[in-house]
Structure 1
């Protein structure tokens, strides 16, 4: 089992080298899918419908780091709406342009006046299909979206499009439905899971929700960090990949 390292303050001299611990594998020839979630100790994925109530300082530090390290942020439209997503603004790894937000939506139901389109320095990528309503497609294209019409929205279709664009360091931020589809498709390479020291109760769902009967995906613990406030930052890799 990976050692538990106390992290305080985040990024401080006595803490671990976070950039090295969370670095993507070198020389990727295909998309590597990292999923990032925060959950309470009793398994809730949100408080009052949003993840903000679960976030801790260490979780926010890792959230910002993971965005800097990735080529693209992949997110479902429901999460983008619920969390009021803005676009990417800060430079990514090696000081290159900010990673675009790639939103998965079969209906193209996105508000052209939302922060996703108005608060960004990089055009969002909208991954959808030709079956989406034409008026919605036109509206988000007019708002600046880079619209990609795919043959389907399965993990294979999504990752093939990201691969075509050379976006190999993939950071998926949910929601549970998209995560569940990636699990069912055997497409999750790494899970970064923050366990917040909160018992949330309520009716919140879990971090993954997928089709019934899908085989589970075996993961191995690759890293564990404990913050002084009880937050656990866990990193799991798929069992057929080496830990790093």
Structure 2
């Protein structure tokens, strides 16, 4: 059987090959939103509320590469709480090298910042998000969020940005990141945030890992929303690992 032209055995690639495969478009003129998820082959996004149980060595390798390439990691508040998010930690020398080659990274080697989306600013200022050593977190919230919560976040070291009146809109998110000159965006979920971005036609790319296991249970799909917005995507590559993990990359037609 002949393989698809973009189907590649992971063992045939070295680290630099993977960096090239996942590089952002050169010098994006506006925030390019890449979403990354792992799912079981029956569609579960978590096991017992966390995605870590679905991870495989290949998925973890690509997860780190995607962070190495990004300017900012965007995540919904629910995912930040359930996954106990802290600061992103990357290889500073690699980040500088990536920037030199135009792949992403950072000219100073600084790690990408974490940006949490929360309409209500309901975050624990004593959580790891604020106490972990690393770049100052960005909190994308709303004008309607309680002022005392925003003050507590600021006091804990977070940078509060209002990106909407009563909800954080995709446009507000993109505008806030553009103002910060963060154009290589990596969104790590959760499903509600991903669903909102799809409906707003704000998703440029999806990196989806299929973990070789069945889960069942009541876990949600990778994107949820009360509205539907069918979005045609084109497959850029399929990577196969020996343990059955399949790593896929898809880009939206509006980017082509």
Interval containing the TM-score (normalised by the shorter chain)? over 0.9
- The 5 A counterparts of 1:123-202 are 123-152=136-165, 153-202=168-217
CA distance in 1, matches of 2:215, 2:13: 24
2:119 partner SS? coil
Tell me the residue number matched to 1:106: 119
- In the alignment, the residues of structure 2 paired with residue 76 and residue 172 of structure 1 have an alpha-carbon distance, to the nearest angstrom, of 9
Residue 80 of structure 1: how far off its partner (Å): 0.1
Question: Which residue is equivalent to 1:4?
Answer: 7
For structure 1, list consecutive stretches of 5 or more residues without a partner in the other structure.
none
Aligned Cα root-mean-square deviation (Å): 1.5
Q: 1:195 to 1:112 in 2, by over 3 A?
A: same
- List per-residue Cα deviations over 1:139-182 (Å, max 9, x = no partner): 11100001112234111111011011110000000000000000
**Normalising by the residue count of structure 1, what TM-score does the alignment of the two structures yield?**
0.93
- Greater Cα shift, 129-138 or 102-111: 129-138
CA distance in 2, matches of 1:3, 1:169: 24
Offset at residue 235 of structure 1 (A):
0.3
Structure 2 counterpart of 1:232, from 230, 243, 246: 246
Q: CA deviation at 1:6?
A: 1.2
The residue number in structure 2 matching 1:81 is 81
Give the distance between the partners of 2:36 and 2:190, measured in 1 at CA.
10
Unmatched 5+ stretches in structure 2: 96-104
Aligned pairs, how many? Answer: 238
Distance 2:64 2:72 in 1: 13
More divergent stretch after superposition (82-91 vs 226-235): 82-91
How far off its partner does 1:233 sit? 0.2
Structure 1 equivalent of residue 19 of structure 2: 19
Residue 101 of structure 2: aligned partner: none
TM-score by length of 2: 0.89
1:122 and 2:135 correspond: yes
TM-superposed deviation, 1:2: 4.3
For residues 26 and 120 of structure 1, the distance between their equivalents in structure 2, rounded to whole angstroms, comes to 30
Quickly say closer, same or farther: Cα 1:9–1:204, change in 2 above 3 A: farther
Q: Which moved more, 1:87-96 or 1:187-196?
A: 87-96
Structure with the higher helix share, 1 or 2: 2
CA distance 1:11–1:111, change in 2 (3 Å): farther
